[in-house]
Amino acid sequence: MAQDLRPGRKKAMVLEDAELRSLRIPSTAHRGSLSPSKHSYLPTLQEQAREDRPQSIASRKGATEAPVEAEKKGGHASPETHVLTDLSADVLENVKAEFVENGGALNGEQFVRAMLRNLDGGSGKSQVSTTQESASPMRSASIRAAAVMDLFSHVDVHGESSVTWEDVSNYFIEQGMSGGDEFTVDSIKTYEVSQVKDVSKHETPVEKLVYLEQIDSLVCLSRGSRNFRLYDPKRCILKDTVPGHRGTVINCCYVDAWSQIATTAADMTICFWDSHLQLRNRLAAKDVQLCLQWDRVSRSLFSGAIDGTLSRWDLNNMTLADLRKGNHKKAINDLLMVHDINLLASASSDGSILMWDTTMMKPKKTFKGHKKGTFSLAYSMDYHCLLTAGLDQEALVWNPYVERVPIFRLKGHTHALCGVSIVPGTPQILSADVAGTFRLWDMRSFRCVQSFGGNETTLNDLNTFCIMPPHHRLAAGASRVILHDYMDEWGGESVTDTGGVTDALYNPTVGEFYTISKQTVKTWNANTGVLFKVLRDITQDEITAACVADNGRKIYLGDAKGRVQSHGLQNGAVLSVFDQHPTDISCLSIWKGTNKVFSSSWDGTVKISTDEGSRPPQLKAEFKNHRDGVTCLRGSPELLLLASGSTDMQVVLYDLKTMKFETALSRFQHVIAAVDFLPKRCLLVVADQGGHISFWRMRPHPDQWTCIFHFRNLPIINGVLPSVTEVPPPTLAVPVCALRVSEEQLFRQSEDGEEEIIDPPLIHTADSKGVLRVWTVSAMCKKRGVHALDVKDLFEQQRSGKMTSPTRGKTVRGQRTAATRGTSPGTSSPRLGKALSPQNSIGAAFLTGLDLESENDIARSLDHQDPTRSQAVSVAQSDTEVQLLFEEEGHDDAGIISMYLTEEPNALMTTGLDRRVRTWSSQLDRLGTLMQSQDRHFKFPFDPQAAQEVRLQAAAELLEYLAPENRLRLPPIPGASSRSAHDMLLSLSSGKTKPTKKKDAEKAWRVTAEQVMQAPEDVEEDDFRMLFEQMERGSMAGYPLESKERLVKISKALQAKQMVHRANALSKEEAFAAERLAHAMAALGGDDYGTYAAMASSLKVR
């Protein structure tokens, strides 16, 4: 059986090598130019790098300036691109060999070492090194290493710290297929029916529409009409009706050189009309001409006849210059001049497409792929592709240099096509069928982006269509003219997304923001606030929840059908599919530092799964303790707790260690809006839609599951904030939508102008009126003894049963409160207290026990008051435990969907119902808004240059660690090989081998030994071993004895320095004993080379 498998395996390896050798990686910064010898129309990084380097070297800037300049322009520097430009088939083969030698997988250090070794040994200098003319060699090496490390992180999208050759090759192939250009902003637009309507009367259906950009007019040709009409393309108003033909007008084109319109009709004539639409000339043909095309290079007019004849007309003399008959067997339906290659394309009813030399009037190329007749031609100047459409129900994409097969078939239509067109300057392809269905395609991936028309409009019998690029519009012809406008993704509004924003996230790993809208994820530059990437339609249904992975390379998305998937942030590809929920996902969260993923849905289900990277995810636990939808989800790794709030007005806690239900905090009066932990203080902060913010003790504190304090989110009235702890409240509380807590210190200016330090904890709230607030409860913590605790010590006391409750003054041994482990989630906890006030808020309590007036009574008593907000906040004197520090109207009196505290840098990010995502400082100073029209005042404190320096520092440290691998190594001495040492030394220095005499070999070894002794730090133990072997063989007879002893001493010293020592520091007694042992061994003569002394001196005393 093994014999049978070998040929297949060998063939597979040959195919894989061939694929890698033909790998073509496109540049994200250039549009492609076609290589005549290749099937692919995509450009290669290698070709473009060679083209760009000579002309750009003189204008290049330093290493750190290039990424910063890219950031300023709104782009996002991609360091791994520099590595991709230097890849070749030989480099890839060598890297593959490194994978095989290391068992098929490489970790980060091995990958960097392998790539640097092969890239440096490849042909020519890299693009990175050539750009660093003024940089030091060490910095250039760090830049190269940083680029390779960035490449590794892109390949290792799961964060497994190792990659296989399959992972690397798949990444290269994916880059070769897409190059990332398909994710650019505003390149593909969606089409909608225009509000502009054609109100003119049509006796017969529209048969042909032609847009003449030179005169900005839409020419309409109707079935059986001897007249042609000109419409204003902006307002779709009929401007002129031009008679003159004695037969049905069939087609037209514009003749630039004469500034005239040329029309052809069934009367076998070609007529020319001036700018005043007056007939100037008429040409008689031998047959009906179906199409016209003007060539400005040869200054000739070409026409295609119903019998397949191609004619060339001389307009200077108004005569027929040449004609060709017989190449097409049937009628020529369309002509198109391809100026790139100076050839004329013709489409015929016989299904063939010919490319003509306009000078010789000879067909140069023939394309055969349609089974039926072709009627429409289009050409992309940007992507250098020819598109054809006809009765086949599919459009074909051709490389004009390759005649054999089309590049791609655009499938999806269910009826015969009536045309295909390309929007100049974009990757948009438009195709339409006779049933009125349009399909919008992306040229870069040949993916259908949108399908519109058909039953949605009156386009039931579509005959023709054309595009009008200056007006961002297409015109379709059926019983009348119907317009479709294509819309920018931002629609001209000053919002983050016109379709609304579901959520917004920040990724500190790469300095990027992500906004979620419908089925799209948009990526923004954190330094400039500029949108630079759009991942469109990456989920099957609308995205309802999102969370960035811990490694910052992938994103978890939950949709309206309960699916949870991880996607690569590089290209949006699906990486893992998690266990599906019954209903739409409400929340997603992760446990940082682990592979745990938390998900919840609107049926009350909470699931804990593990992301196994390249393996399928595993469901670890599933909880159904809520009676209704989960509104918020938050985990605390320090307390090993997961908290979920719900519309059933309770908070459920889960043990992350045992993966079991822990307890339920019930009897809230309102829907739970947000939860967050203060783990150092064993606190859970809960905010609800009634405007209450409450603080609950968590385990392992002895007062676990009890409410210790609460206050209300009251509005400011006449410049004064009422008491937020008074019972009953002086006014209705504003519902809280989002909450975040922080243990960071805050600074603010005091009334006397000095900087005041605000102690934590800080509470950040966002309410239903779009107001952001920052509160401090440090006074409450001091008054009630809520200090930072040693959580590990508390857990240990809890396990040993020696925990003492500070409020009860007794030892807690297995005490179980009303809301404890095992309590049924459907059972309400008993009444724990009555009035929760500042004087009576420690111990067991619950929010529903408050002695309050009804909210309706409060509302009636406050009808005469006019609450207003003011930036000048005056807090009531009675609130000694909570203080409002800052307030800001964040989202124009609209509710806030989400709020996050960002890390590196520390800031605040909010998402509002006003379709905007805003960033704030800790003092609520506005830092900018993410807008597709770009916020010029955006100043989020992310420093790309500092981030680049951090990457370079990490790369420099890795290079220093890998330095021994790059040292000069002497060639090994084969035992029974005919190759001499001299040959090996020569191969080391020059790579060449020459026959030599024995005395020359002796001399070479002497020189090498001297070099080794002069620079012992540049060699390794193996180098000494080879020299010793040579000396033992006698080839170094007569060499000075002291040199030999010197070599031995250096070798032993180097060996002692590289010995693996104890990892933990010694105690004072152990260090003293080690030092005495070193002295004893030295006195006995057993430490000639300082081994024990080096060991003792390298240990650090505790």
DSSP string, 640-698: TEEEEEETTS-EEEEETTTTEEEEEE---SS-EEEEEEEGGGTEEEEEETTSEEEEEE-
Q: Alpha helices, DSSP H only, in 733-801?
A: 778-784, 791-800
Q: Is the pLDDT of residue 974 over 60?
A: no
Name 225's bridge partners: none
Q: What angle do CA 32, 38, 40 make, to 5 degrees?
A: 50
Residues 6+ apart with CB under 8 A from 689: 670, 671, 672, 673, 735, 736, 737, 768
Higher pLDDT among residues 53 and 571, named by residue: 571
Backbone angles phi, psi at 452, to 5 degrees: -145, 170
What single letter denotes the amino acid at residue 41?
Y
Section 898-924 average pLDDT: 91
Section 143-157 average pLDDT: 86
Name 323's bridge partners: 311
Q: What is the pLDDT of residue 31?
A: 32
444-449 LR contacts (CB < 8 Å, sep 24+): 444/178, 444/179, 444/181, 444/182, 444/383, 445/177, 445/178, 445/182, 446/397, 446/408, 446/410, 447/182, 448/410, 448/412, 449/188, 449/190, 449/536, 449/537
**Cα 529 vs. chain centroid, distance in angstroms?**
15
Instruction: Give the pLDDT band (50/70/90) at residue 1081.
Output: confident
Higher pLDDT among residues 611 and 826, named by residue: 611
Name 392's bridge partners: none
Give the tens place of pLDDT for each residue, 466-522.
Answer: 999 999 899 999 999 999 988 765 555 788 888 889 999 999 988 999 999 988 999
Q: What are the helix and strand counts (H, E) for the chain? A: 19, 62
Q: What is the pLDDT of residue 310?
A: 96
Q: Alpha helices, DSSP H only, in 760-814?
A: 778-784, 791-800
Report d(CA 181, CA 173) in Å as an integer.
Answer: 15
Section 865-874 average pLDDT: 42
Q: What is the pLDDT of residue 351?
A: 92
Q: What is the pLDDT of residue 961?
A: 80
Give the tens place of pLDDT for each residue, 694-716.
Answer: 999 998 888 899 999 999 999 98
What radius of gyration do the chain's Cα atoms show? 38
Residues 6+ apart with CB under 8 A from 459: 436, 453, 476, 478, 482
According to the per-residue pLDDT averaged within each range, which of 510-519, 809-818, 989-998 is highest? Answer: 510-519
Backbone angles phi, psi at 963, to 5 degrees: -55, -40
CB atoms within 10 A of CB 1061: 11
Give the tens place of pLDDT for each residue, 1090-1099.
Answer: 667 766 666 6
Q: Is the pLDDT of residue 61 over 50?
A: no
Residue with tokens 């983050």: 496
Q: Is the pLDDT of residue 597 over 70?
A: yes
Give the tens place of pLDDT for each residue, 954-971.
Answer: 888 888 887 655 444 444
Q: What is the pLDDT of residue 891?
A: 87
| Contact by Cβ (8 Å): 486, 190 | yes
Q: What is the pLDDT of residue 150?
A: 87
Higher pLDDT among residues 411 and 801, named by residue: 411
| Contact by Cβ (8 Å): 221, 207 | yes
Q: Is the pLDDT of residue 37 over 70?
A: no
Q: What is the pLDDT of residue 694?
A: 94
Section 281-285 average pLDDT: 94
Higher pLDDT among residues 511 and 1043, named by residue: 511
Q: Is the pLDDT of residue 813 over 70?
A: no
Q: What angle do CA 705, 706, 712 make, to 5 degrees?
A: 120
Section 1019-1035 average pLDDT: 56
- CA distance to 870, 980, 1034, 1043, per residue, from 1000 (Å): 93, 11, 15, 20
Encode burial over 1024-1058: b for 16+ CB neighbours within 10 A, e otherwise: bebbeebbeeebbeebeeebeeebeebbbebebee
HEC-encoded secondary structure of 147-192: HHHHHHHHHCCCCCCEEEHHHHHHHHHHHHHCCCHHHCCCCCCEEE
Name 229's bridge partners: 220, 241
Higher pLDDT among residues 1039 and 881, named by residue: 881
Report d(CA 908, CA 888) in Å as an integer.
Answer: 12
Q: What is the pLDDT of residue 29?
A: 32
According to the per-residue pLDDT averaged within each range, which of 290-294, 425-429, 939-943 is highest? Answer: 290-294
Report d(CA 540, CA 562) in Å as an integer.
Answer: 11
Higher pLDDT among residues 92 and 545, named by residue: 545
Give the tens place of pLDDT for each residue, 170-212.
Answer: 887 766 555 445 566 655 668 888 889 999 999 999 999 999 9
Q: What is the pLDDT of residue 1026?
A: 60
Higher pLDDT among residues 1035 and 243, named by residue: 243
Token code pair at residue 330: 């049937």
Of 691, 682, 657, nearest in space to 765 by CA: 691
Name which of 442-451, 724-733, 822-831 the model is least confident about.
822-831
Q: What is the pLDDT of residue 398?
A: 92
Percent of the chain past pLDDT 70, that is, above it, reads 70
Instruction: Give the pLDDT band (50/70/90) at residue 405.
Output: confident
Higher pLDDT among residues 680 and 756, named by residue: 680
Higher pLDDT among residues 429 and 1039, named by residue: 429
| Contact by Cβ (8 Å): 417, 403 | no
CB atoms within 10 A of CB 1091: 19
Report d(CA 900, CA 896) in Å as an integer.
Answer: 11
Name 367's bridge partners: 353
Give me the DSSP letters along 113-129: HHHHHHHHTSSS--HHH
| Contact by Cβ (8 Å): 911, 920 | no
Q: Is the pLDDT of residue 854 over 70?
A: no
Give the tens place of pLDDT for each residue, 240-281.
Answer: 999 989 999 999 999 999 999 999 999 999 999 999 999 999
Give me the DSSP letters along 191-202: EEE-S----S--
Give the E-state strand segments of 205-297 in sequence order.
206-212, 217-222, 228-232, 237-242, 249-255, 260-265, 269-273, 279-284, 289-295
Token code pair at residue 899: 């709020």
| Contact by Cβ (8 Å): 271, 265 | yes
Report d(CA 856, CA 579) in Å as an integer.
Answer: 44
Q: What is the pLDDT of residue 115?
A: 86
Q: Is the pLDDT of residue 985 over 50?
A: no
Backbone angles phi, psi at 252, to 5 degrees: -160, 165
Give the tens place of pLDDT for each residue, 645-691.
Answer: 999 999 999 999 999 999 999 879 999 999 999 999 999 999 999 99
Token code pair at residue 83: 């590595």
Report d(CA 664, CA 826) in Å as an integer.
Answer: 9
| Contact by Cβ (8 Å): 287, 305 | yes
Give the tens place of pLDDT for each residue, 921-955.
Answer: 989 999 999 987 788 889 999 988 888 888 888 88
| Contact by Cβ (8 Å): 281, 272 | yes
Average pLDDT, the chain: 77
Q: Is the pLDDT of residue 812 over 80?
A: no
Report d(CA 119, CA 94) in Å as an integer.
Answer: 10
Q: Is the pLDDT of residue 331 over 70?
A: yes
Q: Is the pLDDT of residue 981 over 50?
A: no
Q: What is the pLDDT of residue 191?
A: 87
What single letter denotes the amino acid at residue 634?
R
Q: Is the pLDDT of residue 142 over 70?
A: yes
Instruction: Give the pLDDT band (50/70/90) at residue 563.
Output: very high
Q: Is the pLDDT of residue 827 over 70?
A: no
| Contact by Cβ (8 Å): 373, 346 | no
